[in-house]
Every structure is written in structure tokens, then in C-alpha cells.
Amino acid sequence: MPTTVITGGTGGIGVATALALLEASPDRAIALVDLAAPAVPAQLGAYGPRVALFGCDVTDEWSVAAAAAEVRAAMPPVDSLVNGAGVVHNDASIDIPIERFRAMLAVHVDGTLLWSQQVARHLDGPGAIVNIGSIAGQFGHPRRIAYAAAKAAVHSLTKTMAVEWADRGIRVNAVTPGYIETPMMKEVSRLGLVDAGVAAGWAAMKRLGTPEEVAGAIRFLLGGEASFVTGHILNVDGGFAVLKAE
């Protein structure tokens, strides 16, 4: 039985990804990695010991190393990783405090690198990694200076890890979601950063995406059907990027 590690595993896209992987493969286990979640989310409770939760701050290399060691001790061998831990906030370039900028990069960029290193170093055979980027990393986004920079860096890490680790049998890809209905999106709406109705209009398909739609793309990129796909950045955005590029 192989294990997939999902950071941000108790978030909206994390839970949907866990469900998609568990339903697709009866012999897969899932290690959810999260900052503060108290327990495995109820939607995953039916899978019993195939799902376990590990507390970890992805910005802290010692926390990541300790959690990765716990996963290796408690779970079947890890063959795949989804880097999904994320935060979003609203700051203008002119006055964002540097600590706040660095904190954003730490979650997305350091977190992605640290967990990818842990998994790649201990893989015994072929493996696959999917990083969760964002369409925000592809365009200029007012008041998203830190988030957009962090996500652009995640896309870049994806490409470099893909070329460096191809000879180790590790494929590395990214998904770039558009606006997806998750707790993060609700928080962004609550803060007045984005109006959900307006955001839906930015997609060619004129709606928000669902966590399940992102999860389906992640499952594809992790699985055997994508065995010749690496270094790819897959937009899961209802046509946001192509509309924006018109």
C-alpha cells in the first residue's frame, strides 16, 4: 500500500484530493499534513487507518523533518506528495511590511521545497509530486503582491525540480486553480478581497470551480495516465487564463 502526503490536507482542496485518491485506489493511504487541525476531517472518517493526520508548520524545516519522519514511521511507503498548504492576504506593494511578505513566501515556497526534499530524498522507487500554484502567479494582481510572487515561485520550483529529478523517476507538476469555492475563498470574500460573483465572471465558464474539479486534475497528474507528463503547469480555471490573455 503506498501513501500520498497532502500538505494543507484538511483544507478545501486537500480534503477533496484525499477523497479523490482514496476512491480511485483501494490500496492507497493518505497522510494529511496541517498546521492546527485537531482531527481528521469527518468526510474522511470512513477510511479508518488509511488516513492519518500529522501536525506540521511547513515553514519550519525542523517541523517538516519531524513530521516527515513520523509519516515514514507510521504509514506505508510514501510515493507521492501534494503541496497544498497555503494562506492568502491582501497587501499593496507600496507598503507591505517585509515580514509579512516573507511570511507568505515561507508558506508557499519554503513549504513546497522542504516537503518535496523530504519526499524525494526518501523515495525508494518512482514518485510524483503535484504543487498547487495559482493563476495569481501568472498575471499582475493588484494588492496580491506577496501571494502572486509566492505562486509564481511555486511554478518555477515545479519546473526546476521536474528537470533535476526526472532521472530519479520523480515527476513534478503543478495545478493552477482559478477561483475555487473553499474556506480560503470564503475568507477572501469575507475580507472583501474578492466578490465571489465578480470572480465567477472572470472565468470563461462564468462560475467558480469546485475543490473536486481541482482534485480530479491532481489525481490525473499523480497517476499512471500522466506517466510522460512532467514540469507541466495545468490551469484548472474555467478558462480564466485564456480569457485574460485575449
| Residues that bind ligand NDP in the complex, under the rule CB under 6 A | 7-8, 10-14, 34-37, 56-59, 84-88, 107, 132, 134, 177, 179-180, 182-185
Give the residue nearest to ligand NDP (CB). Answer: 11
Name the one residue in this structure whose C-alpha cell is 499512471: 224
Residue placing its CB nearer to ligand NDP in the complex, 18 or 167: 18
Shortest reach from residue 137's CB to ligand NDP, in Å: 9
Residue placing its CB nearer to ligand NDP in the complex, 168 or 186: 186
Starting at the edge strand that comes first in sequence, how are the strands of the sheet with 29-34 ordered? Answer: 51-55, 29-34, 3-7, 78-83, 127-132, 170-177, 233-236
Residue placing its CB nearer to ligand NDP in the complex, 87 or 229: 87
Shortest reach from residue 85's CB to ligand NDP, in Å: 4
The one catalytic residue among 115, 147, 165, 202: 147
Shortest reach from residue 23's CB to ligand NDP, in Å: 18
The question of whether 147 is a catalytic residue gets the answer: yes
Taking the C-alpha atoms of residue 52 and residue 67, their distance in angstroms, rounded to an integer, is 12
If phi over 0 gives left and psi between -120 and 50 gives alpha, with beta otherwise, what is residue 34?
beta
Please state, as a whole number, how many other Cβ atoms lie within 10 Å of the Cβ of residue 204. 16
The continuous run of DSSP H or E covering 224 comes out as: none
Q: Which residues are catalytic, by number?
A: 147
